[in-house]
């Protein structure tokens, strides 16, 4: 028995988180998924802000002092802004793995910024769609160039006088 399902020749699109390969043709409830990702990431960001608010209240109850409280709030604000910028940049170009590893702690602290970046990007497209589309189109063009056969034998080509 042979398996009738075979993958088509050529490059295949890379699936995106929450979207699979629906971003290629904008099918399979693509718009609904974008709305779901935007609402979900915004809801997660709001919930995270409530958790951070409880942490702030814990600091005031513990009476740790003004400098420590300001430092913690400033740390979360800066990390959130950096995580937002880094996440938005990662949607348009592949991040350097070494830099990504060195920023892991900062991105974890500023997770609210990453959630907001997901929300804002999903309002216009699937997060990372532009980057993946460019890479997919380039791979398709290269595949066509590699597989296109030449017409005739160049050694038998007639020379013009």
Query: pTM, whole model, 2 decimals?
Result: 0.80
Quote the tokens at residue 95: 């991040």
pLDDT of residue 1: 47
Contacts of 94 (CB under 8 A, 6+ apart): 131
pLDDT of residue 111: 94
Contacts of 17 (CB under 8 A, 6+ apart): 127
Contact 109, 136 (CB under 8 A): no
Binned average pLDDT, 10 residues per bin, the chain of 161 residues = 63 89 89 94 96 92 92 94 94 88 91 95 92 92 84 69 61
pLDDT of residue 145: 86
């Amino acid at each position: 028995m042979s398996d009738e399902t075979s993958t088509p020749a050529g490059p295949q699109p890379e699936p995106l988180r929450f979207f699979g390969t629906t971003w290629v043709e904008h099918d399979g409830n693509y718009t609904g998924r974008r709305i779901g990702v935007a609402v979900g990431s915004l809801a997660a960001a709001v919930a995270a802000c409530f958790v951070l608010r409880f942490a702030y209240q814990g600091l005031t109850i513990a009476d740790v002092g003004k400098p420590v409280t300001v430092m913690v709030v400033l740390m979360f604000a800066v990390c959130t802004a950096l995580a937002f910028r880094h996440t938005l940049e990662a949607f348009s170009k592949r991040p350097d793995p070494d830099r990504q590893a060195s920023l892991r702690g900062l991105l974890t602290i500023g997770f609210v910024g990453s959630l907001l970046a997901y929300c804002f990007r999903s309002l216009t497209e699937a997060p990372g769609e532009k980057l993946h589309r460019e890479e997919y189109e380039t791979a398709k063009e290269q595949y066509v160039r590699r597989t296109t056969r030449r017409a005739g034998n160049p050694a038998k080509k007639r020379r013009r006088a």
